[in-house]
Chains A and B, each alone.
Chain A
Amino acid sequence: MDQIALVGKPNSGKSSLFNILTGLNQKVGNYNGVTVEKKSGRFLDTEVTDLPGLKSLKTVSPEERISKDLILQYVSSQTPVLFVANGMHLEDSLMLFSEIADLQIPMILIINFKDDLTKNQIDINTSKLASQIACPVVLMNARTGEGLSDLQHLVSTKQYAVPNSICRSSYDKIVDDKINNSYISSLNQQSVKLEDDVFLKRQKTISSIISGTTTVLKNRAGFLKQSQKWDKLLLHPFFGILLFLFTMLILFQAVFYLSAFPMDWIDASFAALGNWVSEVVKISWLADLLSNGVIPGLGGVLIFIPQIAILFLLLGILEHSGYLARISFISNRFLSFFGLSGQSVIPLMSSWACAIPAIMSTRVINDPKERMAIIFASPLMTCSARLPVYTILIAIMVPSKDGGFFNLQGVSLLALYLLGVAATLLVALFASKRSKVPSNNMWSLELPVYRIPNWRNVLYNVYQKTKAFVVDAGKVIFVVSLVLWFLASFSPKSDSFIDEQVILHQKETPNLTVTKESVKLEYSYAGYLGKTIEPLIRPLGYDWKIGIALISSFAAREVFVGSLSTIYSVGSEESGLIMERMKNEKNSLTGEARFNFATCMSLLLFYVFALQCMSTMAIVKRETGTWKFTFIQFFVMLFMAYATAFIAYSVFS
Chain B
Amino acid sequence: MKSLKEGERAIIIQVNGSSEFQAYLLTLGMSIGTIIIKNYSPSFSKLISFSLGGKMISLKLADFEKIELVKI
Contact = CB atoms under 8 A, between A and B. Distances in A.
A449 B56 CA distance: 8
Contacts of B40: 228, 231-232, 235
Contacts of B39: 228, 231
Interface string A36-66: 0000000000000000000110111000000
Contact of B54 (A223, A333, A442): A223
A148 interface: no
A26 interface: no
Contacts of A448: 56
Contacts of B49: 231, 235, 329, 447
Contacts of A196: 22, 26, 31-32
B72 interface: no
Given A58-B23, A60-B20, A236 B42 contact: yes
Interface in B21-35: 21-24, 26-29, 31-33
Given A58-B27, A199-B31, A329-B58, 19 more contacts: A60-B20, A60-B27, A89-B55, A92-B54, A92-B55, A95-B29, A190-B20, A192-B19, A196-B32, A220-B54, A224-B54, A228-B39, A228-B56, A231-B49, A235-B42, A237-B42, A342-B47, A440-B20, A446-B57
Interface string A444-485: 111111000000000000000000000000000000000000
A341 B24 contact: no
Interface of B: 19-24, 26-29, 31-33, 37, 39-40, 42, 44-47, 49, 51, 53-60, 63
Given A221-B37, A342-B47, A195 B23 contact: yes
B17 to A, nearest CB: 9
B58 A237 contact: no
Contacts of B63: 442-443
Contacts of B58: 329, 444-447
Nearest to B52: A92
A407 B39 CA distance: 40
A219 to B, nearest CB: 11
Given A446-B55, A447-B49, A92 B29 contact: yes
Q: Which 4 A-B pairs have the closest CB atoms?
A: A89-B54, A56-B27, A447-B56, A445-B58
B45 A329 contact: yes
Contacts of A336: 46
Interface string A221-245: 1011001100110011100100000
Nearest to A330: B45
Nearest to B17: A442
A275 interface: no
A35 interface: no
Contacts of B28: 55, 444
Nearest to B27: A56
Contacts of B53: 89, 91-92
Contacts of A220: 54
A227 B44 contact: no
A200 interface: yes
Contact of A203 (B22, B31, B45): B31
B21 to A, nearest CB: 6
A570 interface: no
Interface string A78-121: 00000000001101100100000000000000000000000000
Nearest to B34: A203
Interface centre among B22, B37, B54, B60 (most CB of A within 10 A): B54
A223 to B, nearest CB: 7
A220 B51 CA distance: 11
Contacts of A91: 53-54
Interface centre among A88, A228, A440, A444 (most CB of B within 10 A): A444
Contact of A332 (B21, B27, B32, B47): B47
Contacts of B20: 60, 190, 440, 442
A196 B12 CA distance: 13
Nearest to B9: A221
Interface centre among B20, B23, B59 (most CB of A within 10 A): B23
B47 A329 contact: yes
Given A341-B60, A444-B59, A447-B56, A192 B42 contact: no
A441 interface: yes
Contacts of A443: 59-60, 63
B61 to A, nearest CB: 10
A194 B60 CA distance: 26
B42 A224 contact: no
Contact of A445 (B21, B27, B32, B47): B47
Interface string A187-219: 000101001100110010000000000000000
A196 B20 CA distance: 13
A92 B24 CA distance: 15
A332 B59 CA distance: 11
Interface string A533-571: 000000000000000000000000000000000000000
Contacts of B54: 88-89, 91-92, 220, 223-224
A190 B19 contact: yes
Nearest to A59: B27
Contacts of A60: 20, 23-24, 27
Contacts of A56: 26-27
Nearest to B55: A89
